[in-house]
Amino acid sequence: MAKLFDVYPLFDIQPEKGNGVWIYDKNGEKYLDLYGGHAVISIGHSHPHYVGMLNEQLNKLVFYSNSIQNPLQSELASKLGELSGYKDWQLFLCNSGAEANENAFKLASFHNEKKTIISFTKGFHGRTSLSVATTDSAKIKAPVNQVHDTMMLPFNDEDALKEAFEQNSNICAVIVEGIQGIGGIHVPTESFMKKIREYCSLYNAVMIADEIQSGYGRSGKFFGHQWAGVEPDIITMAKGMGNGFPIGGVLISPKFEAWHGMLGTTFGGNHLACSAGIAVLDVLQKEFLLTNATTVGDWLMEELAKISGVKEVRGKGLMIGVEMDTEVASIRKDLLFDHHIFTGGASEKNTLRLLPPLNLTKEQGLKFLQAFKKVAEEAMA
């Protein structure tokens, strides 16, 4: 019998339905979801507006290729531009984060005909040519893609960045997460982001903001890099964009000119994906979820910092990293199996990640805080 290629360690839980921040397993047990399947659930599981729009589209047309007109794509682009503040930018639609980043690299090298892409330690950009930046795992030995040269620099290190630009005339792009996700929720300093912007402009390189995890309102601003007040040249997104439906996008500055055949994909921007994307934007706006992310997130971070065993709390909005004095694997397991709360890990073993739906309430947050306090105390005892 054919079996699955075993690349994922699995928890022995089988979710069957979701509602808001809650997930129910096949035995009817209820779980508080503070992880959203790697930061994917932005507006809550099975939001009625989202379900309604997807159902309506399913009954009409599921897919036709990008060779004919699909007005849903323009509607999505226009709403996205409006909400994110990038009104006159251009949108290319694809299916995942890795694909969005690959297209961003392509665009960058079409633009300046250079080859080297700079990424940063603890960064993650999907299973792309920069996947080596993901983890310290000894099993991942080398960059896999040779189309671009890659250079990894220390995060938040302005001197290293300056030196790299001064010594290498082939720098095509710098890719940086608005807030680092899987690396352990590290926020770039405003000054670091401004330096990236400055050097990219000075040396004709392209600044790519990877907002795949930190975008779509998660940080309390539409995109994480907006906290630093910089404007990149290309912004990549996925995850929360479809609230679980696979969709990715590349938001492209007006200075890039498209030509037919430059980029392409079979499924990207299909009718169902666009419906999901539009529904997410509708709900983010109507329910003021960016404001909620800030209010509930600030409060959670403040409360978390008071708990014994917590070394540092990092992040913005509802993208929170809790660094503990100890490894968090068993804390996460206890939260899941004893208290029915999903949380995430990070490549830093002492850091727990919280990436809940953006409509999390304080009441639900309090449930987590009480459980976490108990579990953390036991772990430190």
Ligand X SMILES: Cc1ncc(COP(=O)(O)O)c(C=O)c1O
By the rule CB under 6 A, 125 interacts with ligand X: yes
Report the alpha-carbon distance of residue 374 to residue 63 in Å, rounded: 49
Please state the closest distance from residue 29 (CB atom) to ligand X, in A: 27
Q: Which of 72, 77, 118, 182 binds ligand X (CB under 6 A)?
A: 182
Residue 351: C-alpha distances to residues 218, 298, 305, 356 (Å): 18, 18, 13, 16
Choose, by CB under 6 A, the member of 33, 102, 210, 348 that binds ligand X: 210
Nearer to ligand X, 125 or 340 (CB): 125
**Token digits for 21?**
């921040």
Question: Rounded to whole angstroms, how far apart are CA atoms 141 and 314?
Answer: 29
Rounded to the nearest 10 degrees, how much is the dihedral formed by the CA atoms of 273, 279, 283, 289?
10
CB of 367 to ligand X, least distance (A): 26
Stretch that binds ligand X, among 185-193, 208-216, 320-328, 372-380 (CB under 6 A): 208-216
Judged by CB under 6 A, does residue 374 bind ligand X?
A: no
The yes or no reply on residue 124 touching ligand X (CB under 6 A) is: yes
Q: Residue 368 phi/psi, 5° resolution?
A: -65, -45
Q: For residue 362, how many other CB atoms are within 10 A of its CB?
A: 14
Q: Which amino acid is at 80?
A: L
Query: Is residue 213 at the binding interface for ligand X, with CB under 6 A as the rule?
Result: yes
Q: Which of residues 19-38 bind ligand X (CB under 6 A)?
A: 38
Residue closer to ligand X (CB basis): 210 or 233: 210
Residues 6+ apart with CB under 8 A from 288: none
Give the span between the Cα atoms of 351 and 346, in whole angstroms.
Answer: 6
Q: Which of 18, 36, 44, 181 binds ligand X (CB under 6 A)?
A: 181
What is the distance between the alpha carbons of residues 49 and 20, in angstroms, rounded to a whole number? 12
Nearer to ligand X, 97 or 188 (CB): 97
Contacts of ligand X in 91-120 (CB under 6 A): 96-98, 101
- Compare residues 322 and 376 and give the one whose CB is closer to ligand X: 322
Q: Note the residues at the interface with ligand X (CB under 6 A).
A: 38, 96-98, 101, 124-126, 177, 181-182, 210, 212-213, 238
